[in-house]
């Protein structure tokens, strides 16, 4: 593939150094730093790999808002010459795509292929899928499977309700853990010292923004054994979240989402009962999973 230089942003003079970011560049970002080997033993970071991962994470987080060279260079603290070279390398390999002018950049198709492989090769996701189907059929509601990633929850599987068309989430989407039943079920399996620091992001008028209020809510989650979110993540939607206890602290959880307009007391009891049974079946199935790596 021939390289196309941005029309509005010509490539600046070359500034190639082993690490030409300023001190502290890239610090404070979400988990995802790439290291040469593991997270222990004092192995130094492979900075070129870290930079590529950070770039892909930035592009993925922008969704349908493509980025310009200058924006990416400024956000990552990288000279534009180095960012341009990195973008061209990733474009050639399908990880980044560009428009016909060569001045706008977005996430490429290789990211989709890799994400699909993650789901297809995870034995716990595979084991949970038929039970998510059963729960969705029994309740007529949307069922999710999510995994904690830092202070966010990543959605690994979703079974949409046929009763309403509004899409609440999709596989691969990330939401703050404090703002929904899935995340609160997982945070409750951890000590309060491990909770996200404030101020917490508000997704709706009902989202917890104060860590003290969140901690009080999680104390109730531990006592009940499940989490309830009443329009904390999405206005008009309630959620019921159940941590999957095959890991301690739990990394995965399931939830049921339902419009508050048709959530009766009887239906709420039905949801809790079905989701408890679904959790027990998934936990039992996970215990029978054999072969493959034990991903931690």
pLDDT at 114: 86
Mean residue pLDDT of the chain comes to 83
The pLDDT of residue 60 is above 90: no
Is the confidence at residue 70, as pLDDT, over 50? yes
The more confident residue out of 33 and 281 is 281
Mean pLDDT, rounded, for 229-257:
95
> Are the C-beta atoms of 218 and 188 separated by less than 8 Å?
yes
Name the pLDDT band for 117 (thresholds 50, 70, 90).
confident
What's the pLDDT score for residue 160?
A: 83
DSSP-assigned states of every residue in 119-134: HHH-HHHHHHHHHHHH
Asked if the model's pLDDT at residue 130 lies above 80, the reply is yes
Give the model's pLDDT for residue 169. 54
| Distance separating alpha carbons of residues 124 and 295, to the nearest angstrom | 10
Start-to-end C-alpha separation, the chain: 38
Q: What is the pLDDT of residue 1?
A: 45
Strand partners, 244: 252
């Amino acid at each position: 593939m021939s390289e196309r230089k941005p029309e509005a942003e010509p490539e600046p003079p070359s500034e190639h150094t082993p690490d030409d970011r300023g001190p502290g560049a890239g610090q404070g970002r979400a988990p995802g730093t790439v290291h040469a080997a593991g997270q222990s033993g004092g192995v130094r970071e492979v900075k070129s790999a870290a930079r590529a991962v950070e770039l892909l994470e930035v592009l993925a987080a922008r969704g349908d808002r493509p980025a310009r060279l200058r924006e990416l260079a400024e956000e990552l603290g990288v000279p534009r010459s180095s960012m341009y070279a990195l973008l061209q390398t990733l474009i050639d390999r399908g990880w980044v795509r560009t428009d016909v002018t060569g001045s706008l950049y977005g996430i490429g198709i290789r990211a989709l292929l890799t994400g699909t492989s993650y789901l297809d090769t995870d034995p716990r996701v595979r084991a949970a899928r038929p039970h998510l189907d059963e729960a969705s059929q029994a309740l007529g509601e949307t069922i999710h499977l999510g995994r904690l990633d830092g202070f966010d929850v990543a959605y690994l599987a979703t079974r949409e309700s046929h009763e309403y068309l509004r899409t609440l989430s999709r596989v691969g989407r990330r939401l703050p853990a404090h703002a929904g039943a899935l995340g609160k079920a997982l945070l409750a399996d951890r000590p309060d010292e491990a909770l996200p620091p404030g101020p917490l992001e508000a997704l709706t008028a009902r989202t917890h923004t104060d860590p003290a209020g969140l901690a009080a809510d999680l104390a109730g989650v531990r006592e009940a054994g499940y989490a309830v979110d009443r329009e904390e993540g999405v206005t008009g939607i309630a959620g019921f979240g159940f941590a999957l206890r095959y890991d301690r602290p739990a990394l995965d959880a399931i939830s049921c989402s339902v419009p508050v307009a048709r959530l009766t007391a009887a239906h709420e009891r039905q949801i809790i009962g079905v989701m408890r049974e679904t959790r027990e079946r998934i936990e039992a199935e996970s215990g029978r999973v054999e072969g493959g790596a034990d991903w931690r």
